[in-house]
């Protein structure tokens, strides 16, 4: 949280951070990745998983379905499909295109933020 009480949202979270936020083990998150094709976190050059805010929200929903509502993995997958959050087929082109678009937009957001920060620094130095 920031000093004014608002929650700071990051672009990416490491698997340990996600596990703490959700209150689950990292092994559960890795297992869900194998069961839900739409969960495909980015990887750093060293292979660490990096989850976007979008993926964090999807993981929260999976946890809610599994633990709070008692769904099986299959049932949770079907519930996500019905909401349009999970591919109907493993290589559903709509989901793949949406994921690529999301990644492109996140990269663009990061570049714009860096550019604005550089402009602010330049202005403050003048």
Give the pLDDT of the chain (126 residues) as one tens digit per residue: 445 555 567 888 999 999 999 999 999 999 999 998 888 898 888 989 999 988 999 999 999 999 999 999 999 998 988 887 786 665 555 555 566 677 778 888 888 988 998 899 888 887
> Looking at the domain assignment, is residue 4 inside a domain?
no
Q: How many domains does the chain have?
A: 1
> Looking at the domain assignment, is residue 101 inside a domain?
no
pTM: predicted TM-score of the whole model, two decimal places: 0.64
Q: What is the CATH number of the domain that holds 23?
A: 1.10.1660.10
The boundaries of the domain holding residue 40 are 12-90
108 contacts: CB under 8 Å, gap ≥ 6: none
> Looking at the domain assignment, is residue 76 inside a domain?
yes
The SS3 assignment for 43 reads strand
> Looking at the domain assignment, is residue 51 inside a domain?
yes
Of the CA atoms within 13 Å of residue 124, those in its CB half-sphere come to 6
């Amino acid at each position: 949280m920031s000093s004014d009480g608002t929650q700071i949202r990051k672009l990416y979270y490491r698997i340990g951070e996600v596990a703490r936020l959700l209150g689950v083990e990292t092994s559960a998150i890795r297992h869900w990745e194998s069961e839900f094709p739409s969960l495909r976190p980015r990887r750093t050059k060293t292979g660490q998983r990096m989850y976007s805010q979008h993926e964090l929200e999807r993981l929260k929903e999976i946890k809610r379905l599994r633990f709070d509502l008692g769904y099986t993995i299959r049932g949770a997958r079907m519930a996500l499909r019905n909401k349009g959050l999970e591919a109907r087929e493993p290589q559903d082109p709509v989901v793949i295109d949406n994921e690529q678009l999301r990644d492109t937009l996140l990269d663009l957001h990061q570049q714009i933020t860096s550019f604005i920060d550089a402009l602010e620094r330049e202005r403050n130095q003048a």
